[in-house]
Structure formats: structure tokens, C-alpha cells
Homo-oligomer: A and B are copies of this chain.
């Protein structure tokens, strides 16, 4: 495992280093990771810009091969990767093996997408030389990559949203070059994956600088990366504070750039009466599992349940409390996250009208940084007047809000900020009775879910992982699924160029056999 900064194809040491911590033991792990300097930032972005000049034009098959080779190199890392990721994240082996599978699948999915090629939205309007009063020139448009992208590794997906995660896969697929700021919680995992990408780039003789990766245990390197004039776009998954700070930096640049920040959600779920009546026990168990999955460290964790006060809601509450009691504690990603979680749920329990429904009776005393699953409750009237209760508690926590009457359900929804997801648990009568309430959820979320939990984000074309602010900074884009590539491209129109000078995607005869809109019609001709 190399512990120096990866700048193009070179490893470069620095003056200061830091170590990874095993959150299950609070002990330092092997490896002194080198903190990047301002010069390293500049060098990485200069290489990234130089590499972009040729990488952007890489043949679509060659780009697909590169992405598939990254997936292969990650698989080749074998147990070493999983073991290091377990040690650095506290996540269990099965989860990390699954996450590795998701990571390689994402890379292969983007390889398929670029190899197929239609994602560039090629659009052609033929010339009209005889148009009156003036002729119309031939105009053809397609998406082109924006340039070097800075990607912040996320703590909660050490593989699937980190060094070779969805952001990197989609940026490289778009034809952008990438500089990753490795997350300090898992530098060793990052080092291994970074080297896998380097190997894949070398196997394909790609220009040096197509990928670089820098370390820092503070904020200076991240800030320098966002401020660097060669950076064209930034992605980030993390806290509201972190995300909005990066947006501010990016907006204050001489030439502002977009920051795609995913900043968390409380993912409201409305539990409607008939469904609770018919199957409160099953719903309680399903939600207890979703709330505590991965120690609740998912951006789609159901942190808010909304129901109407009734005897059956009381039964559901009891069942939920009992289900939560049975869930064992689990190790959180970092000591900092663990401490924040404990502080925040304790604070929530002190808020006006909030009381505990249930908490885990099964806390592992042998391991450090254990997240205690907690479910609390509050009345809708207390919830509506207290903005604090709408904040995300990152961890295995959920708050049940109980409305006194039906209209209050809508008032609770109206009090919410933008969300990644909004869910409804409903049976047939509920769907008719609460039609407007249910339909209105589209206004606050990027994904609306019926009788399903929000956790488990599928990596498919129809996925939307991005919602109105503050769930993400730009709800018009997604960070999961094939649509994620659109964050890294912009349209360019070519006017009056001869066929041989146009990109292949726009040439007469459609040599790449992609879907195109030609004179207002979709066609593969």
C-alpha cells in the first residue's frame, strides 16, 4: 500500500502525515499518509488539464475498456481491500463485499453507457439553403465533457462513493479527468483503489493526469482544489455544513463553478391508517431494519415517520420500540461521527415534547464507537414549530411525528425542506383518501416511494438521487444511476461545419450508430 499522494503516475511524499483510525478499537492503523501541499494541488490540476486535452477525445470503446479495467483492478485487490476497508470503516465484511460489487458494477454500467454512446444527446438540424428571407446553416449539437473534476470521497461509502465510486466513474465516462480528495477516514482503502485506477490508466496508455489522488486530514487541500482555476466541477457527499461551505468557495471564484453536493435528508415516511391497521407489525419490523441498516449511515435513512394519532398508531409505536430494542449496536464510521450521533440524539431527546419510543438493549461493550439505535416521538404541533427537529441525525435514529388530525399530516409535510426521498405506506383506502397529500410529495423530493423503504438505492437509469435544496445543491441532477454522467457535460453546437470536421457522433450516416434527434425525429439512421 502506497501512502504518498498520487499525482498523475507519480507518488509524491509530503512533510506532514496522518494515520487512519480503526473506529471499532479507536487504535491507529498502519500507514503514514502524506498530506498534500498547495504545489501538489497545482501539479495534479495542471496534469489533469493537460490530460483532458486528449482524454476527452478518447474513442468510446477505449474509454469503456479503461472503466472496465478499473473494475478488474479493484477486483484483483482481493481480500486486502476488504480487510483494510473493514479496519478503517467499522463496516462488516458482507456489506463491504456487497459495496465492492456495486462499485465494479457502476464502473461497468458507465462503460456500457459510453460504449453505446447515445448519452451525448446528438441533435442535428439540416441546412435549409433556400429558406427565405435568409438561408439556414447546418447546426449539430452534442454534450462534451466540462474539464477537470474534483471529487471528494465520502465517508459512508468507502468504495461506492469514494475514490472509484459513482462520481469518478461517471466523470471519467463523460471524458473528464479527475482529481480525488481522499476521505481521511479511509486513506488506506483509498490508496489501494487509487493504485488500481493508476494501473488501469497505465494499461491503456492514457495521458498522465487522467487521475490523481491527494490526502489531507483537514480542509486546506479541499479548499485549494475547489479554488483552483483549472477545476471545472466539484462533487461532494457529506454534511450540510461541508457542502454549503464548498458552494460558497466555488461561487466566490473569479469564474464560479458548480458544486454537486449531496447534503443529507431526513427522508419522511407517511404511515397511513389503513396500512397500519392491516400490518403495523410488519411495517414496524421493516422500518426498524431500514433505520438501523449500516448503523443508519445512509443518506436515504428514514429519519422521520409521520402518522395520525390512534390506537393502531400506538400499537405500531410499541412494535417499533420492541423491534429497535432487538437491534444490536454497530460500529460507526469514525469516532467523530459516533460522537456527533450521540450528542445529536441526546439533544433531540431534550427538545420540547420529544420522548423515547425505544432503544437498543444490545450494546456491544467490546467495541468502540457503537451507535445505539433510537426511535423517538413528538406531536405534530411540537414538530411544526421546532426547526431543530427537521435536522438530520446521521445514524440509526428516527422520529415519529404524530398528527392530531388529518389536515396536520399536510402541515407536517409543508414544514419540511427538500428531501432525497419521501415515502408512503398505504393500503387501498389510504391511496384514495389521501390522494392529494400523496401526490404532493413530488414537490419536496427527488424520489417518491410507495410501500417500500428508502434505503437501498438502485444503480439504474431510472434512479433519481438528488432532491430540492438542501437535500442536494442541484435537484436537476442525480449522483446515482446513468444520469449521473450529465453533471460533467455541457452542450456545444457546431454551425456550418463540413462532415469530416465534425465529431463522429454528429457525422452524416451516423457511423457510431447512436440514437440521435435528426430534424425533430429520434432515429438511429
Contact = CB atoms under 8 A, between A and B. Distances in A.
Interface of A: 118, 123-125, 134, 136-137, 139-141, 144, 147, 247, 251, 255-258, 417-418, 431, 438, 442-443, 445-452, 456, 458, 460-464, 466, 468-470, 473-476, 478, 483, 486, 489-498, 501, 515, 517, 520, 522
Given A124-B462, A461-B125, A522-B522, A469 B141 contact: no
Contacts of A251: 247, 251
A496 B452 contact: yes
B469 A255 contact: yes
A493 B522 contact: no
A280 to B, nearest CB: 19
A462 B123 contact: yes
B125 A458 contact: yes
A273 to B, nearest CB: 18
A431 B498 CA distance: 11
24 contacts: A124-B462, A134-B456, A139-B462, A141-B463, A255-B417, A255-B418, A255-B468, A255-B469, A431-B501, A446-B490, A446-B492, A448-B493, A449-B496, A450-B496, A450-B497, A450-B498, A461-B517, A461-B520, A464-B491, A464-B492, A464-B493, A468-B490, A478-B491, A515-B522
Contact of A495 (B447, B478, B491, B492): B447
A448 B495 contact: yes
Contact of A458 (B139, B456, B489): B139
Contacts of A522: 118, 515, 522
A494 B492 CA distance: 32
Contacts of A125: 458, 460-462
A470 B470 CA distance: 26
A432 to B, nearest CB: 10
Contacts of A486: 476
A22 to B, nearest CB: 27
A255 B517 contact: no
Contacts of A431: 501
Contacts of A498: 450
Contact of A491 (B137, B446, B470, B501): B446
Contact of A476 (B445, B469, B483, B491): B491
Nearest to A144: B442
A492 B448 contact: yes
A448 B258 contact: no
Contacts of A473: 256
A124 B486 CA distance: 18
Nearest to A255: B469
Contacts of A124: 462
A495 B450 contact: yes
Nearest to A461: B123
A125 B482 CA distance: 12
Given A255-B469, A256-B469, A417-B255, A463 B118 contact: no
A418 B242 CA distance: 28
Counting chain B CB atoms within 10 Å of each CB, the highest count among A140, A445, A462 belongs to: A462
A461 to B, nearest CB: 5
A318 to B, nearest CB: 27
A494 B463 contact: no
A470 B494 CA distance: 20
A417 B253 CA distance: 13
Nearest to A483: B491
